[in-house]
Amino acid sequence: MAKRSYDLLFKLLLIGDSGVGKTCILFRFSDDAFNTTFISTIGIDFKIKTIELKGKKIKLQIWDTAGQERFHTITTSYYRGAMGIMLVYDITQPKSFDNIAKWLRNIEEHANEDVEKMLLGNKCDMEDRRAITRERGEDIARQHGIRFLETSAKANINVERAFYELSEAILDKGPNKDKAPEPQSLPKPRQELSKCCS
Amino acid sequence: METAAARSRRDELSAILQQEVVSLDQLRSCCFHGVPDELGLRPLCWKLLLNYLPEKKSKWESALVQQRNLYRVWTEEFIISPGKQDLPEDAVDSSSRHDITCDDHPLNPNPQSTWSTYFKDNEVLVQIDKDARRLYPDMCFFQRSTEFPLRTAGSDDGTKMVAAEYLRRRIDQCVLKSNAIVKNRSGGWNISGGAKRATQYLNLSGTEEAHWEVVERMLFLYAKLNPGQSYVQGMNEIIGPLYFTFSTDKDKTYREHAEADTFFCFTNLMAEIRDRFIKHLDDSSSGIISSMNRLMGMLKEADEVLWKRLMELDVKPQYFSFRWLMVLLSQEFALPEVLHLWDALFSDAHRFDLLLDICVAMLILIRDQLLDGDFAATMKLLQNYPISDVDQILCKAVQLRRRVLDNLEQLPEHPLELTP
C-alpha cells in the first residue's frame, strides 16, 4: 500500500520542440543516467522523484510531453495542473529556439497564471555545434522574466540544479491549496503505520 | 521442443499458403495464434493480411512487379529529383536556356512556389530524421547497412550513388545552413566554421545505406504523397516492425524488394488507422479520443471495480492508452513480442477491434496491482507494462471477446445496444 512519505507534492511539466532532449533531461534527473538513444515520446510520459528541500520532503510528479505539434491538443490538458513548467530548447537547433515564443504563448493560454517557468538550453556540451549563444538564451529569459539555465543531460550539467531551483521557486511562493498531498493516498491510519515501518 | 498444437498449426498454415487461391478467412484464423517464426512465413502472411498481395496466387507476380516499379518512379520523382515535376517543361530542358528564376526563386513569398514547398518539406524531413534515427535503439539492426541499398539510375559522371545520399545532403544543408551564422558576444554576426558534417552516419560510405535511412526515405515519401497528413511521430513505430519483418525474409528476392513492399503495406495499414494520427479528427468517431473512450467503456463493462479505481485515481485514458492505441502497442513490448501480437492484430477480421480487447485484457491482467497502488504506482505500471507474455494477453482478450459475444446471444432482443 502506498505510504505518504512526503510533505508536499509538486507537479512539473517538460515542454519544447521534438528532439531537444526533454526525455533525456528527465531520465538524467530521475535515474541519474544518460541514454543517447531514446524513442520518441508518444503523447505523454511520467516519472516520480522525491527530493529534500529546506527540510521538506517534496515529491515531484514530472510529466514529459511529445514535442510535435500534433500532440498539442493532448498535452495542453496537462498544463492546467502544473505548478512548474520547464521549457526546453536545443542550443544546436535554432528552430527550437525560435519556437520559444510559441511555447510561451501556449503556457499563457493553458497553464495557471502563477505557474513557475524555467527556460533550459539543452545540449550545452556540444560546443562545436552551438548555434544559440548563452547570451541569447539569457536575453529571452530576461525579457519574459523567467529563470534560465544551460543544461546537458549527457554531461550532467545543471540538470539537478534546474529541478531544485524550479522546486524552490514553487516552495517559496508559500503554501497554497494546490500543494496538498494527493487525495488518493488514503487511508490515514495505515499510512502512519507504514511510515513507522519504513 | 515443439508441441503437437504448434506442429499442426504449422502444417495448416503451409497448406493454406499452398492453395492456388489463398483463403483469407482461413489464413486469419490460423495466423491469429501467431505465425511460427521458424517457417519464415510471416512476411508472406502479412502481405496477404494487409491486402498487398491478392488472394489469387497467379496474380502475385504481376502485382509485385507493378507496385515495385511504381515505388521506383516515386522515389525518383520525390527524392532524387524533387521539384522537377513542378517546374514548367522548358525549365527542365536545359537546351532552351529558360531562366527559371523568373518564375520561382528561394525567396518567392508565394506559398505555392516550388521553393516554398521545398523548404517546408525540409522541416518534415528533419523531423523524420530525428525519429528514424532513434527507432528501436536497443537493437543494432536499424543501424546496420542494408544489403540492398536503393541505387540511383546513375549520375552524369557514370557513378552510381545510393538514394540516401540525396536526403543526407538535404538534411546537412538544413542543419548546416542554420549553423552557419551565429551572433558573437559583442552583438555582431560570425560565420561559424561549419565544414563538419552535422549529421553522423556511422562511417557509412556513399555506397551504403543504413536500415534506418531506408525507413526515413519511406516515411518522407509517404509524407510527400499524403500532404494532408504529412508525417506524425509514431508512424516510425508503425513502419519499423513491418520493415524489419520484410527485410529479414528468408527469400532473397523478397528481401531485395523489402523497401517497396514495406511502403505499400504501411500505406494500406495507415489507411485503416490514420485517423488516430490526425489532430483535427481527434473527436471524430474514428479518432483517437473516441477509441480511448470506447476502451474505457469496455473496461467498465468487463471490470467495473477496476474502472472505478482508475477514475478515482484520476488516471485518464490518455495517460497510457493514447500511446497503446496510436502505435498498436509497439512501444510496450520488445520487437519479437510485437511481431507476435501483430500477427493477431492483422488477423482480426474487424480490424482493429481486437486491439481494444487486448488493451482491456492488459488492464485486467494486472488488476490486483492496479487496485493496490496509488496514482504514481499505477502510472508507473501502465507506462511500463510488466507482462511480456503476449500469449497470456491474447488468451485473456479472446476470453473477453467471447464473453461479450455470449452476452449478445443471451439477449437477442436488443443486441445492438450492448455492442461497445
Answer yes or no: do B299 and B263 share one domain: no
pLDDT in tens, B248-300: 999 999 999 999 999 999 999 999 999 999 988 888 888 999 999 999 999 99
Answer yes or no: do B372 and B296 share one domain: yes
Residue A130, φ and ψ in degrees, nearest 5: -60, 135
Q: Shortest Cα distance from B324 to chain A (angstroms)?
A: 9
Q: Give me the pLDDT at residue B157, please.
A: 52
Q: Give me the pLDDT at residue B92, please.
A: 45
* B21, part of any domain: no
* B188, part of any domain: no
Give the count of beta carbons closer than 10 Å to the beta carbon of residue A188.
9
Q: Give me the pLDDT at residue A83, please.
A: 96
A116-122 and A147-150 as β-strands: parallel, antiparallel, unpaired?
Answer: parallel
- What residues contact residue B132 under an 8 Å CB cut-off, 6+ apart? B212, B213, B215, B216, B219, B236
Among residues B248, B275, B302, which one ends one of the domains?
A: B275
Answer yes or no: do B236 and B318 share one domain: no
Answer yes or no: do B269 and B290 share one domain: no
Q: Give me the pLDDT at residue B357, please.
A: 96
d(CA B135, CA B131): 6
* B28, part of any domain: no
Answer yes or no: do B219 and B358 share one domain: no
Answer yes or no: do B268 and B365 share one domain: no
Answer yes or no: do B252 and B284 share one domain: no
* B192, part of any domain: no
Answer yes or no: do B382 and B292 share one domain: yes
Complex ipTM value: 0.81
* B8, part of any domain: no
Answer yes or no: do B174 and B55 share one domain: yes
Most distant CA pair in chain B, distance: 81
Segment-wise mean pLDDT, segments of 10 residues, chain B, 420 residues: 76 93 94 88 96 96 97 90 53 47 64 76 91 89 92 62 84 65 51 46 70 96 93 96 96 96 98 92 90 96 96 93 96 95 94 95 97 93 95 95 78 44
Grid cell in block for residue B354: 481486437
Taking CA atoms, B199 is separated from A152, B136, B263, B343, in Å, by 19, 19, 25, 36
Long-range Cβ contacts of B189-196 (<8 Å, 24+ apart): B192/A131, B196/A128
Q: Residue B182 is nearest to which of A1, A36, A131, comparing CB atoms?
A: A131
Among residues B243, B275, B307, which one ends one of the domains?
A: B275
The total of structural domains in chain B comes to 2
Among residues B275, B290, B318, which one ends one of the domains?
A: B275
Q: Do residue B383 and residue A38 have CB atoms under 8 angstroms apart? A: no
Cβ burial of B113 (10 Å; 0-12, 13-18, 19+) is: middle
pLDDT in tens, A188-198: 443 433 334 33
- What residues contact residue B389 under an 8 Å CB cut-off, 6+ apart? none
Whole domain around residue B357: which residue ranges?
279-409
Q: Do residue B313 and residue A128 have CB atoms under 8 angstroms apart? A: no
Across chain A, mean pLDDT equals 86
Q: Which residues pair with A58 in a beta bridge?
A: A8, A51
Q: Do residue A135 and residue B185 have CB atoms under 8 angstroms apart? A: yes
Overall CATH class of domain A8-178: alpha beta
**Alpha-carbon dihedral A14, B176, A140, A111, rounded to 10 degrees:** -30
* B349, part of any domain: yes
Please give the interface size between A and B, counted as residue pairs whose CB atoms are below 8 Å apart.
105
Q: Which of A6, A22, A35, A44 to mutate to test the interface with B (most CBs of B within 10 A)?
A: A44
d(CA A58, CA A168): 10
Chain A residues with CB under 8 Å of B135 CB are: 39
Residue A85 pLDDT more than 90?
A: yes
Q: Give the mean model confidence (pLDDT) for residues A44-55.
A: 92
The dihedral of CA A96, A100, A101, A106: what is its sign? positive
Taking CA–CA distances from A18, the nearest residue in chain B reads B127
Residue A6 pLDDT more than 90?
A: no
Chain A residues with CB under 8 Å of B232 CB are: 68, 70
The dihedral of CA B324, B329, B331, B333: what is its sign? positive
Q: Give the mean model confidence (pLDDT) for residues A104-128.
A: 95
Answer yes or no: do B362 and B317 share one domain: yes
Answer yes or no: do B332 and B405 share one domain: yes
Task: Provide the CATH number for the domain around residue B400.
Answer: 1.10.472.80
Q: Do residue A2 and residue B377 have CB atoms under 8 angstroms apart? A: yes
B189-191 and B181-183 as β-strands: parallel, antiparallel, unpaired?
Answer: antiparallel
Q: Do residue A39 and residue B331 have CB atoms under 8 angstroms apart? A: yes
Answer yes or no: do B261 and B285 share one domain: no
Q: Do residue A133 and residue B185 have CB atoms under 8 angstroms apart? A: yes
Q: Give me the pLDDT at residue B188, please.
A: 54
The dihedral of CA B52, B55, B58, B59: what is its sign? negative
Residue B96, φ and ψ in degrees, nearest 5: -85, -10
